[in-house]
Structure 1
Amino acid sequence: MAIDLNGRTAIVTGAGGGLGRSHALALARHGAKVVVNDLASAACEAVAREIQEDGGEALPWTCSVTDRAAVFAMVEEVVARWGGVDILVNNAGILRDRTFAKMDLDDFALVLDVHLMGSVNLTKAAWPHMRDKGYGRVIFTTSSSGLYGNFGQSNYGAAKMALVGLMQTLALEGQKSGIHVNCLAPSAATQMTEGLYSEDDLRGLSTDLVSPGVVALASENAPTRTILLAGAGAFEQAHVTMTQGVHIGDAPGAAERIEAQWERIRDREGEFVPASGAAQYSHEVNTSSHLADRTFAGATNET
């Protein structure tokens, strides 16, 4: 059954080109009214015009996601014009790649400001409207650089992993209000990736192959607390998991015993995805006796 976004309003940041443009066009093709946000007015207007010429409704809006007042004004205008905001695609971003040793801290802060605080600004502006409506779909753009690391991208990776943490909490807070919050980790050839990868690496990584994931995450049947990976037409899910671990306690030599049991601590058999941050504490308290018995029994054979 086709996903129908008629009657839904979406805001897509960084939508003047690349992934954002593809996301905006895909959402519009499925019936959503789309706010095309970017820094360049000409680019915003061009994408909005594409949507309109294809029979859709679009509003270009030029501002930086770091400009909190402008972002709030954008949301208020959208609510006044179209009656609400249903879908947020936090896509705007920049790169300032260097090794951590050589990186200027202003560049570190700037990347955090655009990716993390830019997403916070838009989501904060729209959140009360979504709560009042009892419906919302929020998509943050994370990255494999945040999930798994990438040389020379400490600022970018930190910002992108911070968005996963934001998603985890907002998904819990939004659940009772019908607000689903997810992350997308895209692999695509964009202006941001120019010079980072070879032509062979980027061949087939069209931005249009990622956007179906955004449409699915924007739909009524979207999951929540999901990290969707997408690229070259393939889709996967990433998880932040917790192993069963071992119980060390406060016996003398605890640090040395941890060092001796790294393999058992990292053993992924029986790993699970905690329902919330409190689940770590609950697991450690509730299973400590069992793990203590298992660990100390095993310790008797250690040399």
Structure 2
Amino acid sequence: MTVEQRTYPDVFSLQGRSALVTGAGAGIGEAVARALAAAGAAVLVTDLQEEAARAVAESIVAGGGTAAHAALDVRNAEQAATAARQAAELNGGTLNILVNNAGAIAPAMFPKMTAEQFEFVIGVHLVGSFTVSHAAQEFLPDDGTGRILNVTSAAGLTGTIGQVNYGSAKAGIIGLTKSLAKELARRQITVNALAPLAATAMTETVRTNEKLSAKQLARIAMGRWATPEEIAPSFVFFASDAASYITGQVLPVDGGTVV
């Protein structure tokens, strides 16, 4: 057989798989949900704002994809369990892909940061990632298609000013990722993290402030903000068979902010 005659499987296809994406009502989460659906996955779109999740899911279905929606506060174990089960039902009881994307911010300089602000952000990002992962574990398969994708940030890798809570949460997610990767490897489930940077509502305060925006752009080697749609294919890669032998890693998707 010549090279030209060889055939290769589509390692990026997610046909026959299901996914649960948190915080998918807008921004990076929405783009990831759409990208996973475009690759063939049946996607449960979840968000704290149910109507936002509904709109994204309906749009995916209207475009020919498979999707459902659910309201989800990632800190709530009962809601997480319900969402994990609902996502698994999209694929005969199996949940292949979990994307822990839900996030929130409560910025303040350290002397003025309250315990409530700190605990809130830790709760949504770190505790939320644990809670949904814990709920999803029983539905993840042992056949090599199980994936947990966590969302961290440059703040978790290098620290950040005015967001001790956010930086701590994102650093904790890296530890969660690496520890889960070691535990779940025996089940052939991979666990990785992505550290994206994009033009979203969460970065709007920085992007619309001339001084802050200039400082941030100076840190980005490529000198521009990504769109959420530029970020999403990286998640498809980690969710697919192309990344079947990668686990416990953190991939910055940030235009060279962290190099």
What TM bracket, shorter-length normalisation?
Answer: 0.7 to 0.9
Matched to 1:78, the amino acid is A
1:103-128 Cα distance to aligned partner (Å, 9 max, x none) = 01111001000001111111101112
Partners of 2:196 and 2:253 within 8 A in 1: yes
TM-score by length of structure 2 reads 0.86
CA distance in 2: counterparts of 1:75 and 1:168, whole angstroms: 22
Identity of matched residues, %: 39
Partners of 1:228 and 1:237 within 8 A in 2: no
- Report what 1:9 is aligned to: 18
> Is 1:210 aligned to residue 237 of structure 2?
no
> Is 1:220 aligned to residue 241 of structure 2?
yes
TM-score by length of structure 1 reads 0.74
Matched to 2:247, the amino acid is T
Matched to 2:250, the amino acid is I
CA distance in 2: counterparts of 1:60 and 1:182, whole angstroms: 24
Matched to 1:47, the amino acid is V
Match of 1:71 among 74, 80, 84: 80
Q: How many residues align?
A: 236
Matched to 1:36, the amino acid is V
Please state whether the residue corresponding to 1:61 is helix, strand or coil: strand
1:174-228 Cα distance to aligned partner (Å, 9 max, x none) = 1121100000000101111111234664854211111111001111231111111
- Report what 2:7 is aligned to: none
Match of 2:136 among 126, 131, 136: 126
Please state whether the residue corresponding to 1:195 is helix, strand or coil: helix
CA distance in 2: counterparts of 1:190 and 1:81, whole angstroms: 29
Q: Which runs of 5+ in 1 are unaligned?
A: 239-303
CA distance in 1: counterparts of 2:151 and 2:87, whole angstroms: 22
Partners of 1:226 and 1:237 within 8 A in 2: no
The structure-2 alpha-carbon separation of the partners of 1:62 and 1:146, relative to structure 1 and needing over 3 Å to count, comes to same
Q: Please report how far the alpha carbon of residue 66 of structure 1 lies from its aligned counterpart in structure 2 after TM superposition.
A: 1.0
Bigger RCO (CA 8 Å, 6+ sep): 2
1:234-292 Cα distance to aligned partner (Å, 9 max, x none) = 7x987xxxxxxxxxxxxxxxxxxxxxxxxxxxxxxxxxxxxxxxxxxxxxxxxxxxxxx
Matched to 1:226, the amino acid is Q
Deviates more, 1:177-186 or 1:128-137: 128-137
- Report what 2:220 is aligned to: none
Partners of 2:196 and 2:252 within 8 A in 1: yes
- Report what 1:161 is aligned to: 171
Matched to 2:240, the amino acid is S
> Is 1:19 aligned to residue 28 of structure 2?
yes
Deviates more, 1:120-129 or 1:152-161: 120-129
After superposition, the CA RMSD in angstroms is 1.9
Matched to 1:228, the amino acid is L
Matched to 2:60, the amino acid is I
Q: Which runs of 5+ in 2 are unaligned?
A: 1-9, 218-222
The structure-2 alpha-carbon separation of the partners of 1:224 and 1:132, relative to structure 1 and needing over 3 Å to count, comes to closer
- Report what 2:91 is aligned to: 82
Within-5 A mapping of 1:238-257: none
> Is 1:104 aligned to residue 114 of structure 2?
yes
Partners of 1:227 and 1:237 within 8 A in 2: no
